[in-house]
Each structure stands twice: as C-alpha cells, then as structure tokens.
A and B are shown apart, each in its own frame.
Chain A
Amino acid sequence: MDKIHSHRQVAAIKHSLFDQGYLDEQFIQLEELQDDANPNFVEEIVTLYYRDSSRLISNLDHTLERNPLDFNKLDTLMHQFKGSSSSIGAKRVKAECTLFREYCRARNGEGCRRSFQQMKKEYATLRKKLETYFQLARQAGPLETAYRPK
C-alpha cells in the first residue's frame, strides 16, 4: 500500500510540474527514451543539464558585468543555454531565455539583466522540484513492485 501511495505522490508531482508550466512535451519525449537499457535516462540528462549549464550561466553573469555590453556575445551564449533547456523540456526557463534574446536584439541592457535574474530563479526552482521528483521516484521503486500481489 505504501508503494502505491509513493507512486501516486510521484504522479501528482509530475502532474503539477506540467500544470504549472515548468515542463513541456519534451520531458515526456525523454521519458519515452527510458527503458531497461537506460533506466535512469531522464535523471541523467537533467543532471548533465545542470552541470553543463552552470558554466554557461557564470559566463553570462560575467558578460553582463561588462561595460559596454556585448549583446552579440550575450545572444550567442543564451542561444546555447536555450538549446539545452529546450532539450530537457524546461518550459519556463526557455521562455525567459527567449525574452532575454529579445532584449539583446533591442540592445536593452536593463531588460537583459532583469530577465536573466528571473531566468535564474526559474532555473533554481525547477532544479529543486526535479530533485524532489527523482528522489521520490527512486524511493517508490519500479512500478512492478508497487503492484505485486500481497
């Protein structure tokens, strides 16, 4: 009964992540790539994403401190980061990236800084939520153990 409850919790968290717009269809695509040969594929990709993009984010931070701002460089960096975010289905993060790039195109430094701060918030929030999600999913264990006859 415990296991079924855990699975229900996991399903509930996942539903809310989609309902609240944190994740999009691409995340489901990733889940479909998970199988016996790659049982933790989604968690691996998300871990890789957070590791890899931290470099991009600190790069963006430094580039935003310069005076005058190098909008081309900012745009290139953000394009990279948006690509990764898109690959894991990070919907809200991706939206902030798009906004940032609009500000770059408009050469609006203040707008860039604002949307960058907002993006970092979404990025951090998503990380916490996904960490909880994966932790619970691991605890719940594979689906078959939840439905074993008593």
Chain B
Amino acid sequence: MILIDNDAWDKECLILYRIRKHRQNGIKVDPITLPKIFLLAAHPSTNEHDELKSVGIIDDILMKPLCLSSLVHSYRESVGTENKQVNRKKVSKLGSLLMHKQILVVDDNAVNRRVAKGFLQKYGAKVTSVESGMAALKMLKLPHNFDACFMDLQMPEMDGFEATRKIRRLEREVNEKIACGQASADMFGNICYWHIPILAMTADATQSSDEECRNCGMDDFVTKPFEEEQLYTAMARFF
C-alpha cells in the first residue's frame, strides 16, 4: 500500500504513473500483488481526483486526518469483490493457454480479422489471418505449424463448413497413409495423427446449429466478438 499526501503529489506523480503502466501492460503479473495507491486529501474529492481515479492512477482518495475504518474499507474495495478476483485469475489463465500458440484466423471481413488478431495477440498467441476458405486450405496443407483455427462461417465462394470439410479430408488422407505405412510420420513433422482444433466463429448463436458445425468436422464454436471467459472454456479443451 502506498499513501501519498496531496501536497506531495506533484513531486511523485511520475513514479506513480510508471507503477500504473506496469499494471496495465503486465497481464502476466497478478494484479492482486501490486501496491494499492491512496491519495490523502484535506478537502473532498475534486474533478482532478476523480479523473486520476477513473484512469486508474490512484485507487482511491482518503480524507485527512486518516482513520482506520476508512482505510480498511477503501483497501478492501480496491482489492476487489469475489467476482473481480475470479475474473482476474481467468485472464492470466487464458494467457497461459494461448502463449506462443500459432493460431489461424479465417474471416472475409477485414475489421473482424484485425480485432480477432489483436485480441488473441494480447494473450501471447502468434496469429496469422486469411480472408477466405481457399487461403485457409493453403495455410493448412500438411505438415503445418498451427495449433488451432478460428473459422468464420459465412464467407463468399467457400463457406466455413465447406472449408472445414476439406481440411478434415486432407487430414484423413494423410492419417490413413501413415497408419497403413504408405507414408511415414517424419514426412509430416513426426506427427502421426493430424487433427487441428477448428472453432467456428458465429455472429450469433442462432446462426447455425451445433449439429451442423460438428457434422462438417468442427470442434466447437465461439461467438464474435470474442469474450475472454467463453474463449477460455473453449480453448481449455485443447491446450
């Protein structure tokens, strides 16, 4: 915990800002362990104080003279409710799931591609994005280095279902060749059974049935734009 007097604020604020930046940039660091910063003021909250609090540079403002009960109250508040703590843990969990994983994103919409890529990269994934089913097939020619694929369903020329069917066919052919000795695993990166996790990206849950997705060979689906919790639940099955 850091208690700083309002009058000393001007001299110290740059250091405090750096502490805050570490909080924002370091998702790998558990936020619970970072120090809470309280400003001690003689007068009630000003606009400037509220702003400092809303951008996260300080956790709260405490009135002088300081009393134990208000300190305890503010500290408890800044540590967060049960829900907040659980969410923070999940964020770093998703980070450990996705760190360094190679992910292919397939979507014909440029904005969605860019947002999906940004989201996954935040958790340390290495993302390649392509704009069509055809391009996805080229990327997933065996052997490849991808750990998972997010597939948009509605795309012109070749939709997500068809692309997935074709990918599974490619994998089946190679797996059969390896199984019957026609080809050896070292021709295919020493992997003798190929099955890349393919997750459908749907704009809404009603867009297509679960059955339809599974019938063409998809493993699961997630809604877009991505949501941390849902993504974690889906990815935890594979990693």
Enumerate chain A interface residues (CB-CB to B < 8 A): 4, 7-8, 11, 26, 29-30, 32-33, 35-36, 38, 41, 44-45, 48-49, 52-53, 76, 79-80, 82-84, 86-88, 143-144, 147-150
Contact in complex: A41, B111 (CB < 8 Å)? no
Contact in complex: B10, A33 (CB < 8 Å)? no
Given A33-B118, A149-B14, the answer on whether A87 and B112 have CB atoms closer than 8 Å is yes
Chain B residues numbered 93-119 whose CB sits less than 8 Å from any CB in chain A: 109-112, 114-115, 118-119
Contact of A38 among B11, B47, B118 (CB under 8 A): B118
For the A-B complex with A7-B51, A84-B109 known, give 20 more contacts whose Cβ atoms are closer than 8 Å. A4-B48, A4-B51, A26-B225, A38-B118, A45-B115, A48-B114, A49-B111, A52-B109, A52-B111, A53-B111, A76-B154, A79-B203, A83-B109, A83-B111, A83-B224, A86-B203, A88-B115, A143-B55, A144-B21, A147-B52
CA distance A130 to B154 in the complex (A): 29
Jot down 7 A-B pairs with beta carbons below 8 A, ordered by A. Answer: A8-B51, A29-B119, A41-B118, A48-B114, A86-B224, A144-B17, A147-B14
How far in angstroms is the closest Cβ of chain B from A91? 13
How far in angstroms is the closest Cβ of chain B from A23? 13
How far in angstroms is the closest Cβ of chain B from A5? 10
CB contacts between A and B, total, < 8 Å: 83
Contact in complex: B112, A147 (CB < 8 Å)? no
Q: Provide the main secondary structure of the chain A interface.
A: helix
B215 close to A (CB within 8 Å): no
B127 close to A (CB within 8 Å): no
Contact of B111 among A7, A79, A84, A149 (CB under 8 A): A84
CA distance A11 to B53 in the complex (A): 12
Chain B residues numbered 12-70 whose CB sits less than 8 Å from any CB in chain A: 12-14, 17-18, 21, 24-25, 47-48, 51-52, 54-55, 57
Given A8-B51, A33-B119, the answer on whether A149 and B11 have CB atoms closer than 8 Å is yes
Residues of B near A82 (CB, < 8 A) are 203
Residues of A near B225 (CB, < 8 A) are 26, 29, 86-87
- Please encode chain B, from 216 to 239, with 1 for each CB lying within 8 Å of some chain A CB and 0 for all others: 000000001100000000000000
Residues of A near B110 (CB, < 8 A) are 48, 52
Contact in complex: B111, A148 (CB < 8 Å)? no
CA distance A5 to B57 in the complex (A): 16
Chain A residue nearest to B16 (CB atoms) is A147
Chain B residues numbered 186-239 whose CB sits less than 8 Å from any CB in chain A: 203, 224-225
How far in angstroms is the closest Cβ of chain B from A19? 14
Chain B residues numbered 140-188 whose CB sits less than 8 Å from any CB in chain A: 154
Contact of A149 among B10, B47, B122 (CB under 8 A): B10
Chain A residue nearest to B156 (CB atoms) is A76
Residues of A near B13 (CB, < 8 A) are 147-149
Contact in complex: A88, B57 (CB < 8 Å)? no
Residues of A near B48 (CB, < 8 A) are 4
Contact of A35 among B24, B47, B114 (CB under 8 A): B24
Chain B residue nearest to A50 (CB atoms) is B111
Residues of B near A48 (CB, < 8 A) are 110-111, 114
Contact in complex: B47, A8 (CB < 8 Å)? yes
Contact in complex: A147, B109 (CB < 8 Å)? no
Contact in complex: A144, B14 (CB < 8 Å)? yes
How far in angstroms is the closest Cβ of chain A from B158? 15
How far in angstroms is the closest Cβ of chain B from A12? 10
Interface centre among B12, B18, B111, B122 (most CB of A within 10 A): B111
Contact in complex: A87, B115 (CB < 8 Å)? yes
